[in-house]
Homo-oligomer: A and B are copies of this chain.
């Protein structure tokens, strides 16, 4: 399968002068190492896409022709077993790069869980640009090693942590991301479903829900309206994330 979204109505490429220059996330993402001139060059290469919820961006095993940069919304990355068991390998927010984990084919599937805005680059274009701008390739290597470090943490979580530790670790990571974005680290938006959280943490929906309830009862957090989780004490949470005793 290839990129399934060809509807020209959904594209907003060229809908304004150099979207990259106006990009709200350009300081967080790999574009940040580029000069104005290089940025406009990148801009010419990019296709800007508007996706609605539950659309497939690509499937595991598809030929990896494109790389992406999420500028708005939430993307879920996942792998499936033949019998339907699902492992979510990551959630991407605005500013996150998509498509490093591939050789010739993508290592996982990617789908939107909310309306999403995304820039799409041809892999061949980007590789050409790497050759001309080594610092961009260097930036890419940096992002890859960062992802690798994250993956190691997730291995520890899935291999050795209890349900409670897993959920606390997850909430802490959302809190840290929110903080970096400039949002409150204690009033955290949790935009994904219990099921997706379960598939990310190697648990079932029910266990995720029960563990939330337990943490509420223990006064670690409150569940507010609109998927907002209020974390009462980040230091306590850090303890709970590594050792639930």
Contact = CB atoms under 8 A, between A and B. Distances in A.
Contact of A101 (B85, B145, B154, B159): B145
Contacts of A243: 81-83
A71 to B, nearest CB: 22
Given A100-B145, A130-B138, A149-B102, A154 B156 contact: no
A103 B83 CA distance: 37
A53 B107 CA distance: 35
Contacts of A146: 103
A225 interface: no
Contacts of A107: 148-149, 152-153
Nearest to A146: B103
A121 interface: no
Given A107-B148, A144-B144, 4 more contacts: A81-B156, A144-B148, A151-B152, A155-B155
Interface of A: 79, 81-83, 85-87, 89, 100-103, 107-108, 130-131, 134, 137-138, 140-141, 144-149, 151-156, 158-161, 199-202, 242-243, 245
